[in-house]
Amino acid sequence: MECPRCGAEARWEVVEVVEGKGYVWEAACEECGWEDTKYEF
């Protein structure tokens, strides 16, 4: 995924799966230090 702050390639990973509801993922950019957590349901 692309970092919304600097445009570099940001890494992301699913950190928790909520059975029957969705999942939680975290994203981070090593270039500028941006981090985010999203909940997909």
Please report whether residue 1 resides in a domain: no
Q: How many CB atoms lie within 10 A of CB 34?
A: 15
Please report whether residue 4 resides in a domain: no
Domain span at 26: 11-40
Q: How many domains does the chain have?
A: 1
pLDDT recorded at residue 41: 85
pLDDT recorded at residue 14: 96
pLDDT in tens, 1-41: 999 999 999 999 999 999 999 999 999 999 999 999 999 88
